[in-house]
């Protein structure tokens, strides 16, 4: 069964451990700029969001690549860059709707999440559970639960407001 990374920004503390373990796994150095995941922070709003490749079914990066250097790994389902074919044009970076593709200025090549060969280190080391690696079938259940929790919160607020007004 195919798996996917699921991000819960409400649980993210902005510790950036995911970026650290990613860069160590892929580049053998702790360097946030060489990680395949990015933690984006909006300080004024107090919001934090880990951004990572969504492994799109109809992947714009794969479709736009003039060298056909991006292909789906049949075992993990991850979109991977074949650096023997990549010409470094960065078209894939420009078309990614999530801004999840990066560029490694040390190696002069595009970088993206490859799910660490089926054992994503970002999910493995995320202490708060903000990053999970789950079966795609479970994703529907996770979304349903989150939606139900939001609905319950809303109903509680409505009930409280009605009680206070009456």
127 lies in which domain range? Answer: 3-135
What pLDDT sits at residue 137? 80
* Nearest in space to 108 (alpha carbons), one of 123, 130, 124, 87: 87
157 found inside a domain: no
114 found inside a domain: yes
The answer to whether 85 and 116 have CB atoms below 8 angstroms apart is: no
145 found inside a domain: no
Instruction: List pLDDT tens digits, range 89-116.
Output: 999 999 999 999 999 999 999 999 999 9
103 found inside a domain: yes
43 found inside a domain: yes
- Min mean pLDDT across 21-35, 91-105, 128-142 is at 128-142
Let me know the angle formed at the C-alpha of 23 by 43 and 10, rounded to the nearest 5 degrees: 35
65 found inside a domain: yes
148 found inside a domain: no
SS3 50: strand
The CATH number of residue 101's host domain is 3.30.70.20
Cβ-proximal residues to 100 (8 Å cutoff; 6+ apart), any chain: 38, 51, 52, 53, 54, 112, 113
Instruction: List pLDDT tens digits, range 142-158.
Output: 666 666 676 677 677 77
108 found inside a domain: yes
* Structure token pair of residue 69: 């250097």
The structural domain count of the chain equals 1
């Amino acid at each position: 069964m195919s798996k996917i990374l699921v991000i819960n920004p409400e649980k993210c503390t902005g510790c950036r451990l995911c970026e650290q373990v990613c860069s160590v796994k892929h580049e053998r150095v702790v360097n946030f700029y060489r990680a395949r995941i990015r933690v984006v922070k909006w300080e004024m709003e107090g919001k934090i969001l880990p951004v990572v490749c969504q492994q799109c079914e109809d992947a714009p990066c794969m479709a736009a690549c003039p060298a056909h250097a991006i292909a789906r790994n049949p075992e993990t389902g991850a979109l991977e860059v074949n650096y023997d074919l990549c010409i470094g044009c960065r078209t894939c970076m420009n078309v990614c709707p999530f801004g999840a593709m990066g560029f490694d200025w040390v190696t002069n090549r595009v970088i993206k999440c490859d799910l660490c060969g089926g054992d994503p280190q970002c999910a493995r080391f995320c202490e708060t559970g903000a990053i999970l690696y789950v079966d795609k079938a479970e994703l529907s259940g996770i979304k349903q639960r989150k939606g139900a929790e939001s609905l319950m919160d809303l109903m509680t607020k409505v009930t409280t407001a009605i009680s206070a007004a009456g």
